[in-house]
Structure 1
Amino acid sequence: MSTGRTPVTIVGAGMAGAACAVALRDGGVECRLVDRGRAVGGRMASPQLHGRRVDIGAGYFTVRDDGFAELVEAWEAAGLARPWTDTFGVLAPDADATTTTGPTRWATPGGLRSLVRDVLGAAGPGEIKAESTELTTLPDGIVVLAMPDPQASRLADVPDPVSYDAALTLVAGFENMPLPFENAAFVNAHPVIQFLADDGARRGDSAPVLVAHTTAEFARAHLSDPDSAVAQTVAAVRSVTGLPAPSWTHVHRWTFAKPAQAHDSTFGSVDLANGTVYFAGDQWSPSGPPRVESAWRSGTDAGRAICARLS
């Protein structure tokens, strides 16, 4: 499409950036979507490891937002997402395993990144393509920084920025994987790990692959050399699950894994001499803790606000 206006630049092709791009497209506003990564998804990353996709960032999503629910209905109808579980295990050192219930968690056969690709059009008519580019200066015109506040702060001053917790994600493959819980488990009062997910149960293919997310404190000590954390993380996993040694492992570093706080609006903006900067992402979540759906809502609301401004 062409509007004759300077395109809006969206920096960050995670769920917030993708949702913003769609809102702009639907409003008839041209945009340019850029991301420093080679694939879209951001913290909804699903790389291929040992022949299958594995979710190494966000572990699942929930559905509370009415607008997001409509999108999820379409994903379910297309076989892209499915209800997973409302019950997680609870593990703790020197304690018996228990369970806790909560909202229904949703999972994806093709990995969470597949949902971002679907939002952008997934190679169909009207697909929005992301450029693999890292910007070091702020472009002129309207810019949307759809990313964690510490990263956005490298390009512009974020209003009341929130801090972020780090994490390491360990993926471990086994010959067989008898777990003391079903689907996933919170790990309480442990110095190394805080969440475990049976990726085979999550994806629905029963693959014996376990994903472990570490505590922020442990991650911070190993951000410069995540490989140095593998042995200790594997030992921690085995201590709480009783599993044998894994056949293979993979570790990923998340310097900005999860917002420690949330903004009280769904997006932010500041007017500068050379244009307006909008801020979006899951940290812009006045309704509660950051979630995939809050990233979608943030990007959608920012995009619609830009359309209203330009009209």
Structure 2
Amino acid sequence: MSTSDTLVVGSGIAGLACARALHDAGVAVRVVDRGRVVGGRLASKRLDDRPVDIGARYFTVPDGSGFASVVDDWITRGLVRPWTDTFWVYATDGSHEPKSGPMRYAAPAGLRSLATDLADRLQADGVPLDQEVDVAGIPEGGDVLGSRYDTVVLAMPDPQAKRMLLPGSIAAASLADAGDWQPTITVVARWRERLWPADLHGAFVDGSEVLAFVADDGDRRGDGAPVLVAHTTAPFARAHLEHPESAVAPVVEAVGALLGLSEAPVSTSAHRWTFSSPATQHPDLFLLSGGDGAAPGRTDRAGGVRVGVCGDAWGARSAVSTAWESGTALGQALAQP
């Protein structure tokens, strides 16, 4: 059995950021993911010969965040564009008003392209990164996939990480259960032509049993395609998780009623996210437990493999920037002697 320092399970932005911080500090690291492609919830799907963002809606850059330098580089290379600082807020009676906030950023090639960029750079630097690799659990000795690891990082939602840890461990007890995470169903709909106002950009929907947010994906990507992407409320999603395609008709009806659309879309698609976002946030940036069951935040190594957990649930609010900051902070902590 070979030995390697750190295994990162999950190739979303948190896992990729953690791997980058470890590699830059000289720590041997391998990244694996059970999915076919990198990105996690930074997800895009190709529909009607164009990428559509079906996971994260956009991202922001908090003041003072180290994420800013990453985003600046993406902007310079044309991978990212400033999208809008203003969304509409709709009531169910159709009344609406604009609401300004921080600049939201989008990716012309879809948000997954940003994860692909991070992954490509890691691989160019010699970091092994393998997709379609399923890790069922983390044994106490750290023996995973034919190698013995000093540290295993679980860069994924709490309920998925919890299933991989030893029952009764302090690390597992520190993670939220499935009921503490919110699901959503994303419905993509393409119309024959644009039938909504050019300044829609995106809209939060208050008081709807069906809709939480609607994005103009053509505006978001900058190609003007007549495509809307609707994200449902958590209660509605729970009722349709087993058969997400059953959500399409009521979502399209709700979008049409909200925006006054008289025509039906020419194509639709649905994607479920069982663990879309945490109901509550952890105050710490990451969890790090030693093999002796040390409390989160400690870096004790006695007794077995260290286990770290990172992602958008660790920090002030669930966001792409939070996931990056969480993964980076965990990687830097793990690199400390």
Give the TM-score, by structure 2 length.
0.87
Name 2:36's counterpart in structure 1.
38
Relative to structure 1, the CA distance from residue 300 to residue 194 in structure 2 (aligned partners, 3 Å threshold; closer, same or farther) is same
Deviation, structure 1 residue 242: 1.6
Determine if the alignment matches structure 1 residue 101 to structure 2 residue 131.
no
Name 2:52's counterpart in structure 1.
54
Determine if the alignment matches structure 1 residue 284 to structure 2 residue 300.
no
Distance 1:159 1:206 in 2: 47
Name 1:150's counterpart in structure 2.
159
**Could you tell me whether the CA contact under 8 Å between 2:83 and 2:105 is conserved in 1?**
yes
Letter in 1 for 2:69: E
**Could you tell me whether the CA contact under 8 Å between 1:168 and 1:253 is conserved in 2?**
yes
Relative to structure 1, the CA distance from residue 234 to residue 201 in structure 2 (aligned partners, 3 Å threshold; closer, same or farther) is same
SS at structure 2 position matched to 1:144: strand
Deviation, structure 1 residue 76: 0.5
Q: Summarize deviations over 1:6-50 as a string: whole Å, max 9, x none.
A: 231111110000001111110111111111110000001011111
Determine if the alignment matches structure 1 residue 133 to structure 2 residue 142.
no
The match for 1:183 among 201, 210, 213 is 201
Name 1:117's counterpart in structure 2.
116
Name 1:238's counterpart in structure 2.
256
Distance 1:246 1:40 in 2: 30
SS at structure 2 position matched to 1:293: helix
Letter in 1 for 2:89: V
**Could you tell me whether the CA contact under 8 Å between 2:37 and 2:131 is conserved in 1?**
no
Relative to structure 1, the CA distance from residue 100 to residue 37 in structure 2 (aligned partners, 3 Å threshold; closer, same or farther) is same
Distance 1:218 1:66 in 2: 34
Deviation, structure 1 residue 121: 2.7
SS at structure 2 position matched to 1:84: strand
Name 2:322's counterpart in structure 1.
294
Distance 2:253 2:96 in 1: 18
Q: How many residues are matched?
A: 304
Matches within 5 A, 1:164-183: 164-180=181-197, 181-183=199-201
Letter in 2 for 1:251: A
Deviation, structure 1 residue 235: 0.8
Name 2:146's counterpart in structure 1.
none
SS at structure 2 position matched to 1:219: helix
- Can you give the 5+ residue segments of structure 2 that lack an aligned partner in the other structure? 143-149, 166-170, 292-302
Q: Summarize deviations over 1:70-96 as a string: whole Å, max 9, x none.
A: 111101000010111000011121142
SS at structure 1 position matched to 2:237: helix
Relative to structure 1, the CA distance from residue 124 to residue 136 in structure 2 (aligned partners, 3 Å threshold; closer, same or farther) is closer
Deviation, structure 1 residue 271: 1.7
Distance 1:234 1:307 in 2: 49
SS at structure 2 position matched to 1:256: strand
Deviation, structure 1 residue 5: 5.7
Deviation, structure 1 residue 241: 1.1
Distance 1:26 1:304 in 2: 9
SS at structure 1 position matched to 2:99: strand
**Could you tell me whether the CA contact under 8 Å between 2:20 and 2:122 is conserved in 1?**
no
Deviation, structure 1 residue 124: 6.9
SS at structure 2 position matched to 1:142: strand
**Could you tell me whether the CA contact under 8 Å between 1:170 and 1:213 is conserved in 2?**
yes
SS at structure 1 position matched to 2:109: coil
Name 2:230's counterpart in structure 1.
212
Name 2:289's counterpart in structure 1.
270
Distance 1:158 1:6 in 2: 24
Distance 1:247 1:61 in 2: 29
- Of the structure 1 ranges 250-259 and 114-123, higher mean CA displacement relative to structure 2 is found in 114-123
Distance 1:78 1:201 in 2: 20
Letter in 2 for 1:175: R
Relative to structure 1, the CA distance from residue 124 to residue 14 in structure 2 (aligned partners, 3 Å threshold; closer, same or farther) is closer
**Could you tell me whether the CA contact under 8 Å between 1:24 and 1:304 is conserved in 2?**
yes
